[in-house]
Chain A
Amino acid sequence: EAQVTQNPRYLITVTGKKLTVTCSQNMNHEYMSWYRQDPGLGLRQIYYSMNVEVTDKGDVPEGYKVSRKEKRNFPLILESPSPNQTSLYFCASSLYSANTEAFFGQGTRLTVV
C-alpha cells in the first residue's frame, strides 16, 4: 500500500532533550516536506527536500533540522526542543515537486514540557 509513515504518533518530551521524528515513504517520490499545524494557523512548511542530499528551508525552519540521505526517508530533528514547538507535525511526499499531489502521513502530536 502506498503510504507515508511517521513515527512516533504521539510524543511528550522535556525541554532540551533531543528528539527525532521519522518519516518514510514507499512511493519513490522525489519531493518530501515537513509541516507543523497549529490552531488557526493552518499548515506551515518547516523544511522540504527536492531529492537526496538536497534540502531547503520552508517558512518556519528555526529550531529544526532535517536530512535526506536516502530517497525514502526524511527525518525531522529537534536538537533542543522548546515548549513553542508543541504542535502537530506532518510529513508529506510528492512525486516530483510541490506542484504535484502531496501524500501525507498520519501526523505526530508533540508536546514539549
Chain B
Amino acid sequence: SQQGEEDPQALSIQEGENATMNCSYKTSINNLQWYRQNSGRGLVHLILIRSNEREKHSGRLRVTLDTSKKSSSLLITASRAADTASYFCATVARDDYKLSFGAGTTVTVRA
C-alpha cells in the first residue's frame, strides 16, 4: 500500500523560481526520504530526515517534517533546468521493513 502522497502531481516553474512540493503519509514513521528521478532512470537519494528532526538542508534543498500533521515538504530554491525531474517521498512505517513511495511530483523548469 502507498504510504506517502505527493502534492501537486505536476509543477511548472520558470528558471530561478522556487519549487515546493508536499508529501503526506498515513502512519508513524522512523524517517522520511526524498528521491529524484530523471525521465525513466533510476532514483537518486536526495535527503533523509528523521522523525525527531523538523528541518534539514542540503545545498539548494530544504526539507521540513511535521509529524503531528504527518506531512513533509521539499523546497528547491533558485531552480535550474537540470532540476526537471520527478520527485518522490518515501517512508518506512515504525515496526516495518518496507520503503513505501508516493506517486511523485513531476517538476518542469522552463528556461
Contact = CB atoms under 8 A, between A and B. Distances in A.
Interface in A54-113: 56, 58-59, 88, 90, 92, 97-107, 109
B40 to A, nearest CB: 7
Nearest to B88: A42
Interface residues of B, number: 25
Contacts of A105: 42
Interface of B: 1-2, 30-31, 33, 35, 40-45, 48, 88, 90, 92, 96-104
B45 A102 contact: yes
A45 interface: yes
Nearest to B102: A42
A101 B45 CA distance: 6
Contacts of B43: 43, 90, 92, 102, 104
